[in-house]
Structure 1
Amino acid sequence: MDNILSILRNEGVPALAYPADDVSILQPYSLRILLSDAQFMLSLEHSILVPGLDDKQTFTLRYEGDNIMPGKGSLGNVGDSLPHGSLDIIARHKQPQPRMLSLTLKSPCSVWYPHNLGNRVSSLDTCFHKLLTLAKATEIRILFDSKWATKQNLARLQGVVKGSRRLTGLPVLPQFARLYQQADWSILNSILDAKSKPPIIAPPPIENAVNDAPPPYAHVPSKRSRNTRSSLTPDSPLPKRLLLDAAARSPSPTDDAKSTISSTSTVEVDLFQDLVAAAVEKLLPDMLRAQLPSILQDVLPEMLACPSSPSSWSSQRANTSPQQHHDHKPLTTTTTLAHTIKQVISTHTKLHIRSLLTKTLDHAGELQDRASNEIDDRLDEARTSFAALKEDHMFEVNELCNEKLVEFREHLAEEKDRVEEAFEGHAEEVLCRTWDGLDAVKRAVCCSCAKDKEKSEEWGQYGRRARSLPL
């Protein structure tokens, strides 16, 4: 199996994404890029506050390698004009180095959202529809700070994006699939159409909506009446009460004429029906628990009732019709039936308890696995965060060292200039003193030479006088 390399940080880096033809859809995401020799996967995560839930829910767009057109992408400088302050969102440090990643897809990407979101998708805000618009686009632009990646990883990413080699996607991890589910694009398209297109036909009036709506639960009888006939023979006519109820439930032709629009063809009604089904699923067990004692009180006394004496039993048998003889059982049969019912109830109770225990153990195992996976993920995130923190601190230390080195060099240059100036001044002073000394020596030498010359001239005069005297 190929080694999977994370081009950026494992927990994702801030990025901006939008369709190639609409910059107004631009919004922040968390970008992750995984790469190997034959596999590629890029994901964009965005958290949205969902009505009815306390925490933000994360939606993930997955771009697999086999869905990317080979040779159609690029990784370069930013070419589009972006809103003011956009680069501050993706910057790792004060001066970001933004890079634009352009991808061309074969089909829209896959959308993943949490399992606990249910049918709340249609009630989300504008950010969700921006996300769906981006997910539906086949040409996208992703802006991120290249300082989050090394030069080698950027070179690998550029080779994959611009290359013509066909890649495959990465399989979805089991722990990710347990928390998230892939959305159906037919539902997403219906939501986009319902939010973007105005309604062509006006909604029906309130009277028709009341006729189309399902009956409220308050009209359902909570307890069966003792006087209600349990069965009807084929020859007996229907009771008047049943005929009245059937007539009341059947809509009149005028009501059918009023209801001209079927609300079941819209997405909102489908979601409403899902909500009704979920409510019924939730309330039905409690209603059964509440009604079961009264049902047993009605049914069991009739089934388990024993006659007071054998004579009454024989007289009762004599007064009953053959059909009633067939319905009533002897005393031993009734006792056996009661014992059988108790055994069946006991067996079902044991099976139900065993099923609950099995489900509880399975749920506990799932919780343990989920907690273990969360601990592993948090440990990985902590390691990655510490590594990123180390890189950030190393970067800050390098910047501080560079600043101190620049200050030291400037100070050294200033000291050099000062020393040179002082040395030049001292040298000039020494040179001046030397010249003054040389001038003094020169003057002294000149004086002694003048005196010697005068003496030589006097001796010359004496010699001439001596030669001129007669002997």
Structure 2
Amino acid sequence: MTHYLVRKQGIPVLARSRPDAAAPWPCTLFARYSDTQAQASLYIRFSIPVYGFSQDQTFTLIYDADNLVPGVNSIKPATTSLPQDQLDQLGRSGNPQLRVLALTVKQPCSIRSPHSTGSLGPKNGYEVPFHQLRKIAQATEIDVLLDYNWVHTVNRALLDKVLERPEELAGLVENGKYTKQHKRVDWTVFGPVDQEDPPPYASASQKRSRQTATSSSPKYPSPKRILLDAAIFPGSPTEKATTTTQSPSPRPPSSHVLATPDIQEAVNKAVALYLPIALKMHLERLLDDAVEYAYDLRNQADGEFEDVIADHKIDIAGIKDDGIDEMNRVVNDKLSELKEQAQDIVDDAVEKMQDGALEAYDSIDGKLIAMLDEHDAYLRRQRERSGRWHTLHARGQRSVSLPL
């Protein structure tokens, strides 16, 4: 049976390479243990924009039990203080119990990466997190900060076993849809990142040149620039207005110019052209936000539902154990009562048998005594008769022997 040592969807954590002085990076921790196969693995999943992909890609760092160095892995109370917003992100509920999961591996971990033909690189603006991910994947010593409340009490002993005696376990055999969509590689799949170039935000305070500002235009112009860009609209007769604007001493437009319908027509065309685009962009953004929010709500609900189910399973297991204990107690009490009743019945039967035996003994003894007395009287009579016969016989012999 496979156990999820934390919730199935993973838990929020902060991870970093131990020798690295950089701040830990947010990611998701998964932990699975199979008692029937004696297998266990820990997974750390990152999501980051990657060059060549339209959506963020996930990378899963795999720490198999047989790759852990025995005797040096642990989970201990954290001494790091975090801002409240990070505590809210890591904490399950109530008072977070921050722990540091310290892992030491024999060799850099394997990685589940999206399919690609070569090495991967970050999108512009994401060099720092990509470089951090590369360092964590390459490291053999990793620290993971988590809220210990995510680990159920019944699973903490299993997690300790994975950390303390990894030599007794093997890596978990992977399967499922995610495994098919991602290939297993090593840290070299991450291409090198140029750390000498400043990050994109470093130039925000510098003055931008006009060439940079005009070299690239947005896919859809901003609605605020519609009137400024009206000169490039086809069929927009604004040549006089443009010439007047460039004059060193501009004169106020005449009432005839203000009254002409051409400007209003240009504005109407601009609005008709750009309003649907702006509206579509706004609706798409709202839809994306709504879908993302609904997805987050569903993930949160799934996690809470699984937590409730797990708690109910624990409660049911406790109720079952209590019921078995109560049943055993009732059975033992009833068995003791039956034993006492059986012993009383046996004692009564023995007592009755003893009384019957004594009565039979007394009856037999009386009869034997009577028979013996009768036999003794008979023998006395016989002796008396024999004595008299011998006396008479002796007298007869003497009388015969006398002379006539």
TM category (shorter chain) comes to 0.3 to 0.5
TM-score if structure 1 supplies the norm length? 0.40
User: Does 1 or 2 have the higher relative contact order (CA < 8 Å, sep 6+)?
Assistant: 2
Structure with greater proportional helix content? 1
Tell me the TM-score normalised to structure 2 length.
0.46
